[in-house]
């Protein structure tokens, strides 16, 4: 886990591409970063958060305030196995895979600016 300006970065190893991949867990938008070493991914996380805050300041939005919270869902064993398999095949965690699918789905219903 990484922490910068209240934002939390989660890191995973992508064994398919031999790279470290990360996602900011508590941002209103999907923020991802990567790196080939611990130092590189740390610097890319900081840059990702700083760029996000700068962009939101330019847009005069309050989205650069970290979102703190979790939402739990229950899935049947069959659905959980399908999600796990799809996430593994895409080289990401179940959490990252589900966040991407949710963002894609919400984009069908809301303007891009409204979707986190």
Determine the average pLDDT of the residues in 91-109: 82
pLDDT at 38: 95
Record the pTM: 0.59
What's CA 7's distance to the chain center, in Å?
Answer: 11
Q: pLDDT tens for residues 44-77?
A: 999 999 999 999 888 887 666 776 666 678 889 9
Which residue would you say has higher pLDDT here, 27 or 36?
36
Kindly report the average pLDDT of the chain as a whole number.
Answer: 85
Token code pair at residue 35: 């790196």
- Calculated CA dihedral for residues 45, 47, 52, 55, nearest 10 degrees: -170
User: What is the rounded distance in angstroms from the CA atom of residue 48 to the CA atom of residue 44?
Assistant: 6
User: What is the rounded distance in angstroms from the CA atom of residue 57 to the CA atom of residue 10?
Assistant: 24
Confidence of residue 115 (pLDDT cuts 50, 70, 90): very low
Q: pLDDT tens for residues 2-24?
A: 999 989 899 999 999 999 999 99
């Amino acid at each position: 886990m990484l922490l910068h300006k209240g934002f939390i970065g989660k890191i995973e190893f992508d064994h398919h591409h031999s790279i470290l991949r990360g996602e900011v867990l508590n941002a209103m938008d999907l923020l991802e970063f990567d790196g080939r070493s611990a130092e590189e991914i740390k610097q890319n996380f900081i840059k990702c958060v700083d760029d996000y805050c700068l962009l939101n300041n330019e847009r005069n939005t309050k989205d650069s305030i970290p979102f703190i919270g979790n939402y739990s869902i229950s899935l049947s064993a069959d659905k959980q196995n399908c999600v796990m398999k799809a996430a593994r095949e895409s080289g990401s965690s179940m959490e990252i895979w589900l966040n991407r699918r949710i963002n894609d789905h919400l984009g069908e219903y809301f303007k891009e600016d409204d979707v986190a």
